Structure 1
Amino acid sequence: MQPSKKSEGNLDRLLKARAEIDEELRRHKSTLTVLFTDIVGSTHYFERFGDTAGLAMLHRHTEQATAVIQQHQGNVIKTIGDSVMAEFPEPTLAVRAAVDIQRQQWKQNEQLPDQEQTHLRIGVHAGLGFRYGGDVYGDVVNVAARVTKRTGPAQILISGAVRETLSGDAQLRCHSLGKITIEGRAEKEEVFEALWTDAETYADLRRRLSSALQRGDLVSPGVQLDDLMPVEPG
C-alpha cells in the first residue's frame, strides 16, 4: 500500500520539526566542564554498618563536596545515589575542586579506623553540552560519568580535553595512564591522573588501599588498582 499524500505531508512536517529542534539545540550547546564524585564501596558500607550510619556517611560527603565545589565557582547539578555531579565554568577550577575534595577526604580518614574509612573516585571531562531546567545534558555528561567509572579509589582521572587546559598550571600535576575504552565511543580516550598528594603519601596510600581490597574492607567492583595507580607517579 502506497502512503497517502496526507501521511507524507505529516512525515515532512515531523522531519522539519525535528530538524528545527536539532538546530535549536546546536545553538544552545557550549563547552562545559562536568565533575562526578563516587564513593567506593558504599553498598558494602551500608551492609557492614547499617542504614543509619550509611545515610550519615552519604550526607557528610554531599555536604563536604558541595562546600568545596562552591568554593571553586562550581555548581552542584544533582546527587545520584552516592555520587555528586557538578559543573564548572572552566576545567582548571574543576580539577582544583577535585584535588581539595580528595585531600579533605584523606584528612577525615586519618581520624578513623581503617574499616570505617571511605574513599572517593572523581572524574572530570570537558566537552559540548547544554543546560536546561537546572540540569546539564549531552555527550560531556556521559563521558565524565564513564571516566569516573574507570577511576580507582582515592584517585582523580581527567580526560585529554581537560588535560590540555592545565598545561600552564604548575600546581596541578598530571600523568598519562594511556587510552581506555569509553562505552559508546568508537575511539579510545586518553585519560590522565591528577595527583593530589606527594609521592611518599601516594605510595603509602596505595599500599593501604591494596591491603584493604585484599582484606575485603574495601570493595570496588570492576576496578583493578594495579592497572590504575602506578607506584611512582610522574
Structure 2
Amino acid sequence: MHDMAEERVQRRLAAILAADVVGYSCLMERDEAGTLVAIKSRRKDILQPLLAKHNGRIVKLMGDGVLVEFASAVNAVQCAVELQNAMAAANADVPQDSRIVLRVGINLGDVMVEGSDLYGDGVNIAARLETLADAGSIVVSRTVFNHVRGKVKLGFDDLGEQQLKNIAEPVRIYRLRPDREAAMARPALALPDKPSIAVLPFTNMSGDPEQEYFSDGMVEDIIAALSRVRSFFVIARNSSFTYKGKAVNVKQVGLELGVRYVLEGSVRKAGNRVRITGQLIEAESGKHVWADRFDGSLEDVFELQDGVTQSVVGAIAPKLQRAEIDRTSRK
C-alpha cells in the first residue's frame, strides 16, 4: 500500500513564471550591498503587489531570481508585462551599470507538487525559456501562446522550435513584442524589402474529414511553390498552421506573423469534382488583392494541385508586385 501512495504524486496544471536578474554576478562584484538592497526593494515595491493583483504564488526565491506559480496563463503573461514595465520605470533614473533588469520565461504545463515546492518539466521549461530571453524581455512556450492569444492585446514574434537542455521534445517559443503600438505601425517588422506572405490552412467545406489531408497538402504545395519565387518571403507552414480551425482576423495574422499579405482559401468536394477558391488579402488594410476559383476532377489530384499552385503563383506574383508598387507609391 505504502508504495502505491508514494507513486501517486500530486500533479496539477500550472503557469510557471521564471525570472532572473541579468548580469547578477557583475552587479554583486561592483556593489554587493547596494545590489541586495535594490533587489529587496524591487521585490517589496514591485513584485509582491503585482503577484497579489494577478494571483501569483512565489514557489522559490533565489538571490538573483524567482519562480512564481499562476493558475492562469493569461494572469502570468499580464503580470510579466506589468513587471517588466514597472522595472523599466524604476530603472529610468539609475545609472546603466547599476540597473536591475529582468528576463522572464513562462510555461504552462504539468507540475509535480511536493509541499510548497514544484518540480518537473513544467517548471524546467520555464527556467530554460528564461535563459533564452534577452534583457528586459519575456519568452513564452507554445502552450502559453495558444492560451493567451486573442485574450491579451499583445503581439508575439515566433522564434521557432528550440531544443532545450534536458528536455526531450523541442519546444516552440514566442517572444512578446514589448510595444504593440510600434508593432501596429510597422506590421512587417523583420521583412521590409520583400513582399511577405502567409498561406493559411484552407477551409475544408465538404465536411468529409478524409478531405482534410487533401486541403492541407494543397496548402503545403502552394507554400513550397511560393517559396521558390525569389522576389518574396513566405512564412513557413508550421507558423501559418497554428491558425488551423480557428476564426482568423487577417490584420491580427499580419501582425503576429509579420507579413504584408495573407492567402486564404477553401476546398469543396462533391462526388468526383473538386472546387478550390483562393483569395489574397493585404493584411494591414484588409483589402482584397486577388480572388479566383479552380475546378477539376479527383482522377488526378496531383495535377489539380499543381494546376492550382501554378495558377495561384501565376496570379499572385504579378499581383503582389503590382500591390507592392501601389503600396510604395501610396507612401
The verdict on a shared fold, with TM-score over 0.5 as the criterion, is yes
Structure 2 counterpart of 1:213: none
Q: 2:167 aligns with which of 185, 193, 217?
A: 185
Conserved in 2, the CA contact under 8 Å of 1:37 and 1:83? yes
Q: d(CA) in 1 for partners of 2:160 and 2:42?
A: 30
Structure 1 counterpart of 2:42: 61
- Deviation at residue 19 of structure 1 after TM alignment: 5.2
Structure 2 counterpart of 1:124: 106
- Structure 2, unpaired ranges of 5+: 184-256, 259-331
Q: 2:13 aligns with which of 31, 45, 60?
A: 31
Write the letter of the residue equivalent to 1:21: E
- Structure 1, unpaired ranges of 5+: 1-15, 202-232
Structure 1 outlier segments of 4+, above 4 Å: 16-20, 198-201
Q: 1:99 aligns with which of 78, 81, 88?
A: 81
- Deviation at residue 108 of structure 1 after TM alignment: 1.1
Residues 84-130 of structure 1, C-alpha deviation per residue, up to 9 Å, x if partnerless? 11100110000000000000011111122222222110010011113
Residues 180-212 of structure 1, C-alpha deviation per residue, up to 9 Å, x if partnerless? 1111123211110122335659xxxxxxxxxxx
Write the letter of the residue equivalent to 2:6: I
- Deviation at residue 143 of structure 1 after TM alignment: 1.0
Q: d(CA) in 2 for partners of 1:171 and 1:60?
A: 30
Q: d(CA) in 1 for partners of 2:170 and 2:4?
A: 30
Q: d(CA) in 1 for partners of 2:138 and 2:78?
A: 11
Structure 1 counterpart of 2:289: none
Structure 2 counterpart of 1:21: 6
Structure 2 counterpart of 1:51: 32
Q: d(CA) in 1 for partners of 2:172 and 2:125?
A: 12
Query: Which SS does the other structure have where 1:165 is aligned?
Result: helix
Residues 2-25 of structure 1, C-alpha deviation per residue, up to 9 Å, x if partnerless? xxxxxxxxxxxxxx8545522x11
- Deviation at residue 82 of structure 1 after TM alignment: 0.7
Which structure has more RCO (C-alpha within 8 Å, separation ≥ 6)?
1
Conserved in 2, the CA contact under 8 Å of 1:62 and 1:84? no
Q: d(CA) in 2 for partners of 1:200 and 1:118?
A: 25
The answer as to 2:66 corresponding to 1:84 is yes
Q: d(CA) in 2 for partners of 1:136 and 1:21?
A: 16
Residues 23-80 of structure 1, C-alpha deviation per residue, up to 9 Å, x if partnerless? x11xx212111101110001101111x2210211221232221221221111112211
- Aligned-pair RMSD on alpha carbons? 2.2
Conserved in 2, the CA contact under 8 Å of 1:102 and 1:196? no
Q: Which moved more, 1:127-136 or 1:30-39?
A: 127-136
Structure 2 counterpart of 1:111: 93
Q: Do the aligned partners of residues 170 and 54 (structure 1) sit closer, same or farther apart at CA in structure 2, a change above 3 Å counting?
A: closer
Number of residue pairs aligned between Structure 1 and Structure 2:
185
Identical-residue share of aligned pairs (%): 25
